[in-house]
Amino acid sequence: MGWVEIDGSYGEGGGQILRTAVALSVITGKAVRITRIRANRPNPGLRPQHLHGILALKELSGARVNGAQVGSTKLEFIPGKSRPRHIRVPIKTAGSITLVLQALLPAMAFVGGSFEVTGGTDVPWSPPVDYLKHVTLHALKRMGLNADIEVKRRGHYPRGGGLVVGEVKPWEKKRPLVALEWERIERFAGISHATNLPAHVAERQAKAAEERIRELYNVPVEIETEVSRSLGPGSGIVVWAETDKLRLGGDALGKRGKPAEVVGREAADELLEALTTRAAVDRFLGDQLIPFLAFAGGEIKVAEITNHLITNVWVVERFLGKVFEVEGEIGAPGTVRVIRKAEV
């Protein structure tokens, strides 16, 4: 059996290498061996949230796995036969639900299935669930992939307890995505939430974001507010611009001692900064789209070429050969073009 060998410390060197590599192993049926996992991080090896993504993909594909334990710096993943299943992922902590879904969604796209993930919906260092639902899935829908997610309960650091359920239909018609520069903004929208906190927190976040956006753009701004209960307190906001191409997003999390107005302005500023480049794809969406673009084809312009994006391209090409052409410098806007669509 030939292995695809992946150096887990390459480039950005984080958990994304694992998520993309194991998802592609399931999609292509190729066994993968990942070494030096997160070797340059303060706490090297697999963390619990990485492990949950791997175990979810193991279940989806009936894989044989070696080295799937916390702290392991080497993983061998030998996929079996994938079929549509209902995957349950019980993250006991505030481990990120969206990062688990980043591993699960590309693989599920090829077989279909449903999922139920508990953990953190809105936690530091990972995309908030509302971004995944309203920005990422919106772009994937343009590529012909139908996936739905529903937030049943929020989960914040440190207690978690969030619950997200969803379904992915098999990706039958892969449509190329051409999204270079936007020409007009139809509207701005968003969701501002407060969990186990007074309603005015969500309202103040929304108002501050709306005021900041209106300073620059005279188009409708519709930010919903949501107040809920869960295991612990937390707040956050995701805002997005609906353009003639895709949606670009910005987000921010609340924390103790951080005024709600600061949270709202932070999310708005992140979005407004992305819009100044005229690129159709923001820097977070750019790297999330890479595994899907490889199979759908197309060309995108990203507001910023990040280390994450370059690393994701490298991982994809370890499995599929030369697929992409990336133009631009890290830290600046650039384009990603598919020069050869991958087939499964």
Which residues are annotated binding-site positions for ATP? 102, 284-288
Quick one: angle between helices 97-109 and 283-296, nearest 10? 20
Distance of CA 56 to the CA centre of its chain: 16
CB 136 within 8 A of CB 77: no
E strands, 176-220, are 177-179, 185-195
- What is the chain's percent helix, strand, coil content, to nearest 5? 35, 30, 35
* DSSP state letter for 256: T
Q: Could you tell me which of 150, 149, 141, 148 has the C-alpha nearest to residue 171?
A: 141
Distance in angstroms (rounded) separating the CA atoms of residues 261 and 250: 15
Distance in angstroms (rounded) separating the CA atoms of residues 296 and 199: 43
Give the contacts of 320 (CB within 8 A, at least 6 positions apart).
Answer: 24, 28, 294, 342
- Rg for the chain, CA atoms, rounded: 19
Cite the active site residues.
Answer: 308
Distance in angstroms (rounded) separating the CA atoms of residues 92 and 161: 8
3-state secondary structure of 134: helix
- Classify burial at 279, counting beta carbons within 10 Å of its beta carbon; exposed 0-12, middle 13-18, buried 19 or more: buried
